[in-house]
Amino acid sequence: MEIEEYTKFKADEILQLYTQVGWTAYTEDMPALERGYINSLLILAAYENGELLGIVRLVGDGTTIVLVQDILVYPARQRQGIGTALLKAVLERYKNVRQIQLVTDNTPKTVAFYKSLGFLDFAEFGCCGFMRG
pTM of the model: 0.93
Residue type, 83: G
Whether the per-residue pLDDT at 127 is higher than 90: the answer is yes
Backbone angle region of 22, left / alpha / beta, with phi > 0 → left and psi within -120 to 50 → alpha = left
What's the pLDDT tens digit per position in 67-121?
999 999 999 999 999 999 999 999 999 999 999 999 988 899 999 999 999 999 9
Whether the per-residue pLDDT at 45 is higher than 90: the answer is yes
**Which CATH number do you get for residue 14?**
3.40.630.30
| Number of domains, the chain | 1
Whether the per-residue pLDDT at 133 is higher than 90: the answer is no
In a domain, residue 132? The reply is no
Whether the per-residue pLDDT at 4 is higher than 90: the answer is yes
State mean pLDDT over 14-39: 96
In a domain, residue 31? The reply is yes
In a domain, residue 9? The reply is yes
Q: Which domain holds residue 50?
A: 2-103
The rounded distance, in Å, linking the Cα atoms of 80 and 22 is 19
In a domain, residue 96? The reply is yes
In a domain, residue 95? The reply is yes
In a domain, residue 39? The reply is yes
> What is the 3-state composition of the chain as percent helix, strand, coil, each rounded to the nearest 5?
40, 25, 35
In a domain, residue 7? The reply is yes
Report the share of the chain in percent with pLDDT over 70: 100
In a domain, residue 30? The reply is yes
